[in-house]
Structure 1
Amino acid sequence: MKNRKRVVITGMGILSPLADNIVDFRQALFAKKCAITDSQRFSRWFPHARAAEILYAGGYPELSEQIIQSLDNAALWAYKVGKEALTQAGLVSHRASLEETGLIIGVSSAGTEAFLPLFERRIQDFSLAKAIYSGGFSSCCASVSSLLGLKGGFELVATACTASPNAAGMAYDAIQNGKSPIMLVAGTEPIYLPTFAGFYALNVMHPESCTPFSGTPGMSIGEGAGALVLEEYQHAVDRGATLYGEILSYATSCDAYHETGPDPRAGGAVQVMLKALRNAGIAPEQVDYVNLHGTGTEANDRIETLAMKKVFPQSASLPVSSTKSWFGHTIGAAGIVELIACLVTLPAQKILPTLNFGTPRANCDLDYVANDFRQQQVNIFVKNSYAFGGNNCSLVLSMRPASLPVSLCREKRVVISGAGAVTAIGHSLNEMLEAIWNNQQPATLQPVVFHQETLAEVRALLDVLRATRQFETVLGYGWPDVAPLLPQQAENFNTFQVIGLEPRRHLRRYDQRKATRGGTFALIALSAALASARHKIKKDGDEIGLIMGMARGPQETTWKYLQSLQPDPRKVRTAEFPGSLMNAMTTFCGISAGIKGYTTTLATGENAALGALTYGYDIIRQALQAQVMVGGADEHFPSMALYMDAITQKLQMTADAADYQVYASAPRGFVPGEGACMLLLEAPESAEARGAAVLAEILSYGKSCSNSYFAADRLSEQTQAMALAIGRALADAGITAKDIDVVCGGSNGSQHHSQVEIDAIWQVFQQEKPQVPVVNYNAFFGFVASCAGLLNLAVLIDCFRQQRVPAIPHTQWFCDSRLNFVREPLRLPLQHALLLGSNEAGNYYALVIKGGQPG
């Protein structure tokens, strides 16, 4: 057993309809101001629309106008609160500390603002610069890390209303596992038309201002952002930092019940609190106060009250309250904004009341601290958050850092005991591997066929971009040759697609009505991974977690939902609203498989599943969960994003899969693929107890991010960032470059991605092992954005078993003579492999993998 590290809060930042800084926010709370009022933005569509809106967020004098115009509010707000938190912590100008600091942001509807002109039929306002710099779901992470100088790597959590407290939990784990002494956590959530319309159509909006647990049921929507600096206790004490609180523990869980409604027995809500308290070594009776999720809807308030009664013996006298009655439900930012509200008022020995409280509703019979502050001293308190899909998150905190004994954990090794995959070259992992080892003919690419609605939007958009000369001013080159794509489909525009898949041949339980294409791939891969690990989920679903990484998510469902916004956003298709969220595939898999443990969705973009893998590693290593399923999935969909990638020449338009050549001397971009890969992680003794084979062991990982998001020349800085991630992984594993037997790159094949990777590998290996074999297998199955790294890892696992590596497919003329690219199948003793990956925004992963037993 070992002592866990203490994790303290040393800085806070806030942006709320109540105030745009911590001092004024505290004063507004003590003045009992309510920010919910008539909406200025949404009343044009919705009669009597009410919301807590941020109508003025202050200026950004330190940023250039060009950068400001390129960023959406999600990024600008996260930057603003992040800078305030770092300033309060005394770190904003401390370069050495910032280079070690990681960033985790929680948000629900990122990457939306750039495309609002299309949804709202004001296409003349479309900004190509904003689409490029703020059009990706994780682009806010790249913006904020670059502007603040953070180099510890980043992740974006996309679990809707639990996103920001979940992000805080991930940051807590990163500190526990020694990845960084400091982490910046932010939640940011502007409210856009698709979100407002979805909640409005679900008939859950309160006609006035929400009154949690009393009066008329209904929620009030809000927006805002908050940030916390989390720091290892001794590190903070040594530099004389002010301590605002201590995070004792956290937990997440999944109801595995329904896409929107909570479990009526409150199973997930109960489980998450009990796990969080157990992780902290705290008995329920020791808790002084609970800040509830408290949306004001009938279902939430009833179930949350029930959960409190099941967990706390003193529930009748335990003070609880909801702060959504002050500034509405800020969705992805809700947990962190509400947590900050507690942190700034509890030092005055005052508990925040539930405003607007009237006659309690049936079965709502707790002490909700109605309407007025309660004078009471609080040390230990709990912050609960719940979300669509049954995602639950609970944080346990202390207002007096170091006043309680530190909790203990038994550090575990982390192994892979199960693997499953669905790709264009095989509907199972074995089929995929057989095709690779037999060097079968490349998969037949399938044509891309765009919807007529999408083509119409593209034509209109291209006319605007042509008229405003945005290609020249933003991209630096003239009007691209789009003739091959207009008005009909291009004959040579094809992608790797999964064809002929029969889900019921692979799945015992499968609800086709609720399944998306990507969700089906993920569920098949998940089921295969469980089977290969000899693991059956019965009534022990809370013993296994599920973490998925998303690139573009459920594209078809999202497209259908956005199409339904017109002509009348009051009549959007509610069936597609929850399914359009980034965590929808995770929800589908969790419900289908009965997984109820730690559950999270990351949406960090390309190779997001590597982020899921590192998070799963952290959870298993701390013995927070017995097993964790990690993975990612992508579905082919002919979206406008795909179209724009084609005409801006990011991807390769080809009819022949053999044209996709990674590390080629004359690269032409990448060919998209679809599919899924899932891996089961656990401690080796857990696998051995079931008779499951250890396929491989994850020895360590390293992360880093460049600060070059707005730089014209990114190559050098991004190379340094990837080399830093590799160095961190090797150091954490206790080995050097000479101990690595093979390097598996993750480049998608574009010239820039490949050069960054090649230069980083050479920088790390040139002295100790310049001829280390280098492989990359993306060209076998197409670039499956979210899980490209995991698919490469699945191939590596089999390489360990066979003690040989396949050649890099298709490439004949390589771009760099310094590296030992594997041109022919190679037999060699394999013990350690280095797996690399990056995303499109300059975030880098390196993992040291140790082989299992050779076959």
Structure 2
Amino acid sequence: MALRPVVITGVGVICAVGRDPEEFWARLTAGAGGITAVEDERFAAFEARFAGQVPDEWIDAQLPAEDTGLDRTARLALVAARQAVTQAGLGAATPATLPGERFGLVLGKCQATPTAAGGYQPMHATGDVVAGKLGMTGPRILVSTACAAGGNAVGLAKDKILTGEADVVLAGGVDPLLFGTYAGFAGLQALSARPCGPYSRSDGLNLGEGAAFLVVEALDHALARGAEPLAEVAGYGLSADAYHATAPDPTGRGGTTAMRRALSDAGLDPDAVDYVNGHGTGTPANDAMEKKVMRAVFGERAPQVPTSSIKSFIGHTLGAAGAVEAVASVLALRTATAPPTIGFTDEAIAESTLDFVPNTARPLHMDVVVSNNYAFGGNNASLVLRRPGGPREYDELPATEVVLTGLGPVTGLGTGIAEVAEAVANGRTAVGAAPSLEGRTFAPRSLWRHMNNLSRMAIAASRLAWEDAGLKLPRAALDNVGVIFATAAGSVESTDGFDESVLANPNKPAVLSFSNVVLNATGGAVCQTLGLRGPTTTICNGNASASIALDCAVEAVRAGKADVVVVVAADEAPRPGDGTRVDPYDRNSGEAPASASVALVVESAAHAAARGATPYARVLGSAHASAGAGDERSLVERAIAALPTEGVDLVVGAATGGAADEAEAGAVLDAVPSARLTATAGLTGDAGAATGALNLALAALALRDGVAPAIAGLTSPRAGTVESYVTKPELPATPAKALVLSAAPGSVRGGTLLGAV
């Protein structure tokens, strides 16, 4: 992994105080807040009715007519995205300027976008719209770490440049103001009945809405095309509180760890920091915790470090917050001005023991700025931005072999790798069957009895993978164990329960369900139960989520950001199984939803060897292709072509029994004709992101044991002949290499190459 300097070359933002970066910054530095009473009559049900709102005309005036019919989330995102790429001098990707495959997108979102029919779009749909409009076919990631998602997105964008997968990545966040979300926060009694007062009154938050994007680019690429760097993305850090579903750890431990990791990543000491753009929601718990973080990181210098919260102007924009605040941090660096925290009284100023830049913007020379975000589920993210051109040496990290050492499937086929391996070897299937955890608890009962089904499955899978890996780490070492959660849709149970409660009475929402509606809640529950406080994030790219999550885990291990990472994927069926038979790649197959969770333990080969572990497989490489021009088959072909497939004996595909199987089968049989093709959906049905993780787990098992999932009922293949597929579990020979495919059809196709140990 070459450590190329990574910079920001363009920014875009739309929120309650501005329709573009210029208006946004002018209002911030003038101290002109944008939190107003909500006039929508539906909100009259609530006592607290203030929010940071974006007028519709601000959005639609900046869009071509063809885009004004899109949903509000997509429209907000497109406005900010186009602003950012225009400032960067890019526009839409073209072969002559920037090839689409070198132009990526990492988008942070907290809320799923409602549809007119009453359901929800896939979480990644907004990113697909933005990428399609701007011609991006490079890495495409949807990160959903609630209120930390926007800042998390900028960090992941940097990673994609460091790995060489892209030259430019558009990173940002978006969330609109939704009635259901408002009802949930009201139910938690977290809202202020007036414009919020972070770090002063701390009597509650205001929700907001908006979008922000930053063009994150390799410095050498930016200079080669004559672009001006606005700031350097010097470092970022992630951590888990492992404390509570909605409340921050009152000690500030998680927030402190994230900031220290970000500074370490940047090669800087706390003394180098000139200004902190704080999370500052205005709730008592968050503000008190954040003050402890400042004192822990800066020590005696804490009162001299200017810190402000722009949520006092715009409210809490949830998934967009970290990106909006990153834009503010870039502009602070550029203009040598610290924006204020408004809402301070003279009495509050006199009582404050830290410098929160009260009420009035301040001229301030800055070289280094930190932007912090803390979220539901205990996700913490810190970004370090610095003035471009600062001195720093960049070295290439040594090559690190990464292995899979633990597998934890929780499926209708069985619980634990031993049960599932036996079922695979005997050719059993359990399509649509729900995993059985009856009579078993994998967490303290005080936690277990309040958990939804998705969290129970994920915790069970993670514990089983942990035990399978033989991990016995001292408590202190758990701070260096990361968790990356992958899901296509999150908890159907909690989402339906919460939505029904709001429909029945918005003043009595199901608050326990609400805390589990955010997609990172399950990952947070895994961290809390297992006591893991390393880097954590949540990936939501449909059935491709698990392979992207594994990518992130491998990058974290290779960069030395974690000793071990637990990748856990989970999804649940929206309805019970109906007995449909699934024979992937067969023309007569049906499709069936399923519930499952699968966890993988990822670590360096050296770390595994030092503790005497025997890996299942080596992770040799991965590639993902994002949709653009061309059909589904070309998308599969691009993903496979990016990997060295010579010597691949087995391909575990992403097929789920539908018409899209044909594109995958045709591409695989042409690209890797000597390999046998199979898919795991024939065993369990389509379990969303968990199917992608099961593909990886059973491919790793096949590399060790020579037994693979069979498609016993395959008689009329969509491509090739029956002989090209695995129709019996016992393989002719134990494979040396396996190619594992993943898919969010119409969005992202991926491939992961695993090798025998």
Structure 2: distance between partners of 1:138 and 1:52: 25
Structure 2: distance between partners of 1:500 and 1:275: 37
Structure 1: distance between partners of 2:444 and 2:497: 28
Cα offset for 1:99?
A: 2.8
Aligned residue number for residue 467 of structure 2: 531
Is the 2:443–2:529 Cα contact (8 Å) retained in structure 1? no
Query: Cα distance 1:23–1:587, how it changes in 2: closer, same or farther (>3 A)?
Result: same
Cα offset for 1:756?
A: 2.0
1:682 to 2:606 alignment:
no
Q: Which amino acid aligns with 2:85?
A: L
Is the 2:485–2:569 Cα contact (8 Å) retained in structure 1? yes
Aligned residue number for residue 838 of structure 1: 743
Structure 2: distance between partners of 1:160 and 1:747: 30
Cα offset for 1:333?
A: 0.4
Query: Cα distance 1:823–1:216, how it changes in 2: closer, same or farther (>3 A)?
Result: closer
Aligned residue number for residue 490 of structure 1: none
After superposition, where does 1:485-564 map in structure 2 within 5 Å?
A: 495-499=432-436, 501-504=438-441, 511-539=447-475, 540-564=477-501
After superposition, where does 1:95-114 map in structure 2 within 5 Å?
A: 95-96=94-95, 97=98, 98-112=100-114, 114=116
1:351 to 2:338 alignment:
yes
Cα offset for 1:666?
A: 2.7
Cα offset for 1:667?
A: 3.4
After superposition, where does 1:268-667 map in structure 2 within 5 Å?
A: 268-313=254-299, 314-358=301-345, 359-360=347-348, 364-406=352-394, 409-440=397-428, 442-443=429-430, 495-499=432-436, 501-504=438-441, 511-539=447-475, 540-638=477-575, 654-655=578-579, 659-667=581-589
Aligned residue number for residue 9 of structure 1: 8
Is the 1:253–1:391 Cα contact (8 Å) retained in structure 2? yes
Deviations, residues 110-139 of structure 1 (Å, cap 9, x unaligned)? 223546xx5xxxxxxxxxxxx6xx722221
Root mean square deviation, CA, Å = 2.2
Aligned residue number for residue 464 of structure 1: none
Give the 3-state SS of the residue equivalent to 1:687 in structure 2. Answer: helix
Cα offset for 1:513?
A: 2.2
Query: Cα distance 1:654–1:212, how it changes in 2: closer, same or farther (>3 A)?
Result: closer
Aligned residues: 747
Is the 2:479–2:532 Cα contact (8 Å) retained in structure 1? yes
Match of 1:773 among 676, 685, 701: 676
Aligned residue number for residue 719 of structure 1: 633
Is the 2:679–2:709 Cα contact (8 Å) retained in structure 1? no
Cα offset for 1:144?
A: 1.4
Cα offset for 1:271?
A: 0.9
Is the 2:2–2:162 Cα contact (8 Å) retained in structure 1? no
Structure 2: distance between partners of 1:318 and 1:73: 38
Is the 2:632–2:746 Cα contact (8 Å) retained in structure 1? no
Cα offset for 1:428?
A: 1.5
Is the 1:183–1:231 Cα contact (8 Å) retained in structure 2? yes
Give the 3-state SS of the residue equivalent to 2:157 in structure 1. Answer: helix
Aligned residue number for residue 790 of structure 1: 693
Aligned residue number for residue 692 of structure 1: 613
Deviations, residues 441-475 of structure 1 (Å, cap 9, x unaligned)? x33x6xxxxxxxxxxxxxxxxxxxxxxxxxxxxxx
Q: Which amino acid aligns with 1:151?
A: T
Aligned residue number for residue 266 of structure 1: 252
Deviations, residues 756-775 of structure 1 (Å, cap 9, x unaligned)? 2123224534xxxx232212
Query: Cα distance 1:8–1:273, how it changes in 2: closer, same or farther (>3 A)?
Result: same
Q: Which amino acid aligns with 1:782?
A: G
Cα offset for 1:273?
A: 0.9
Match of 1:821 among 697, 718, 725: 725
Aligned residue number for residue 476 of structure 1: none
Cα offset for 1:503?
A: 2.2
Match of 1:743 among 651, 657, 672: 651
Structure 2: distance between partners of 1:75 and 1:13: 14
Structure 2: distance between partners of 1:81 and 1:763: 41
Aligned residue number for residue 848 of structure 1: 753
Query: Cα distance 1:509–1:589, how it changes in 2: closer, same or farther (>3 A)?
Result: farther
Q: Which amino acid aligns with 1:59?
A: D
Is the 2:704–2:734 Cα contact (8 Å) retained in structure 1? no
Cα offset for 1:568?
A: 2.8
Match of 1:755 among 646, 662, 665: 662
Is the 1:37–1:52 Cα contact (8 Å) retained in structure 2? yes
Cα offset for 1:538?
A: 4.2
Gaps of 5+ in 2: none
Gaps of 5+ in 1: 119-130, 446-494, 643-652, 709-715
Cα offset for 1:718?
A: 2.2
Structure 1: distance between partners of 2:217 and 2:579: 52
Aligned residue number for residue 58 of structure 1: 59
Is the 1:281–1:407 Cα contact (8 Å) retained in structure 2? no
Structure 2: distance between partners of 1:295 and 1:409: 37
Match of 2:715 among 775, 795, 812: 812
Cα offset for 1:537?
A: 4.7
1:91 to 2:90 alignment:
yes
Query: Cα distance 1:422–1:216, how it changes in 2: closer, same or farther (>3 A)?
Result: closer
Query: Cα distance 1:45–1:763, how it changes in 2: closer, same or farther (>3 A)?
Result: farther
Cα offset for 1:687?
A: 0.7
Q: Which amino acid aligns with 1:830?
A: P
Cα offset for 1:738?
A: 2.9
Deviations, residues 47-74 of structure 1 (Å, cap 9, x unaligned)? 4511110122333787564x643x3211
TM-score by length of 1: 0.84
Cα offset for 1:673?
A: 1.4
Is the 1:411–1:622 Cα contact (8 Å) retained in structure 2? no
Is the 2:4–2:218 Cα contact (8 Å) retained in structure 1? yes
Structure 1: distance between partners of 2:71 and 2:452: 29
Give the 3-state SS of the residue equivalent to 1:260 in structure 2. Answer: coil
Query: Cα distance 1:26–1:520, how it changes in 2: closer, same or farther (>3 A)?
Result: same
Give the 3-state SS of the residue equivalent to 1:396 in structure 2. Answer: strand
Query: Cα distance 1:341–1:602, how it changes in 2: closer, same or farther (>3 A)?
Result: same
Deviations, residues 545-604 of structure 1 (Å, cap 9, x unaligned)? 000111121111121111111333122122221122111111111111101111111122
Structure 2: distance between partners of 1:379 and 1:571: 48
Deviations, residues 701-741 of structure 1 (Å, cap 9, x unaligned)? 11111126xxxxxxx4222222112222x1xxxx3x33222
Aligned residue number for residue 121 of structure 1: none
After superposition, where does 1:167-178 map in structure 2 within 5 Å?
A: 167-178=153-164
Aligned residue number for residue 134 of structure 2: 148
Worse-matched range after superposition: 134-143 or 158-167: 134-143
Cα offset for 1:275?
A: 1.1
Structure 2: distance between partners of 1:436 and 1:578: 37
Cα offset for 1:169?
A: 1.0
Structure 2: distance between partners of 1:253 and 1:62: 37
Structure 2: distance between partners of 1:369 and 1:102: 36
After superposition, where does 1:246-261 map in structure 2 within 5 Å?
A: 246-261=232-247
TM-score by length of 2: 0.94
Q: Percent identity?
A: 30
Query: Cα distance 1:499–1:302, how it changes in 2: closer, same or farther (>3 A)?
Result: closer
